[in-house]
Amino acid sequence: MGADHIEATMKVVIADDHPLFRSALSQAVNQCLDSPQLVTVGSFDELSDILKTEAAADLLLLDLNMPGARGYSALVHARSVAPALPVIVVSAYEDASVARAALDHGASGFIPKSSSPETMAKAIDTVLAGDRWAPEAVDQVENSDSAFTDKLALLTPQQQRVLVMLTDGLLNKQIAIDLNISEATVKAHITAILRKLGVHTRTQAVIAARSLEIDWASYGRSAPGAPENG
């Protein structure tokens, strides 16, 4: 199915913390759709909020490393709250293993950020037509272990935020301050996290959560928050 056969009233959510790349993605969407409705967000919190009202959108273009997200956590969250929403991960991490993991965690497509606007448009068109889009090298990579994904999908957005902070080594008091909640609420979230993940200690939860992280050093990049990340 080509772009000419896709209805012009489609709604596309673009989640990327870089304004310039949001603009590039908007251009790619406009190239294959006629007057689409675009909704843009730049953080995990904004994405979580918008999915409450835009779960019936037609497509989500998702940057892996927005503020508040870690590795594939935003992808897992999107798939859990809007399972019918096709997601294309658009990332600066172009290794085939990252694309493979994104697909295994529920993405319908994977587009390297170095792709041309024409390639991005073709990928968007392909996924909207119901097919999958990914670099050819993905087929040469073994499926990742995504058993943890189903458990992570059970966490609420706030519990996911707490889990990310636990992986950063923050204490309950620090988490409470950052999220503007009480320490008692933090403890309640941690108890729920342990139960849902099927582990007994916060250390075990952190170890499990790291299965969603990307090995930044392997791709010659720095940790989340650095300008070149995506």
The pLDDT assigned to 147 comes to 61
**pLDDT tens, position by position, 147-183:** 666 777 788 878 888 888 888 888 999 999 988 999 9
Q: End-to-end alpha-carbon separation of the chain, Å?
A: 30
Q: Pinpoint the residues of the chain covered by CATH 3.40.50.2300.
A: 3-140
Q: Regarding the domain delimited by 147-214, which CATH topology (the fold level of the hierarchy) does it fall under?
A: Arc Repressor Mutant, subunit A (1.10.10)
What predicted TM-score, i.e. pTM, was given to this entire model?
A: 0.71
pLDDT at 193: 92
pLDDT in tens, 114-156: 888 888 889 999 999 999 998 877 766 666 555 666 777 788 8
CATH number of 3-140: 3.40.50.2300
**Nearest of 212, 209, 215 to residue 190 by alpha carbon:** 209
For the chain, residues classed under CATH 1.10.10.10 are: 147-214
pLDDT (average), residues 80-97: 87
Asked if 28 and 127 touch (Cβ cutoff 8 Å), the reply is no
pLDDT at 3 over 70: no
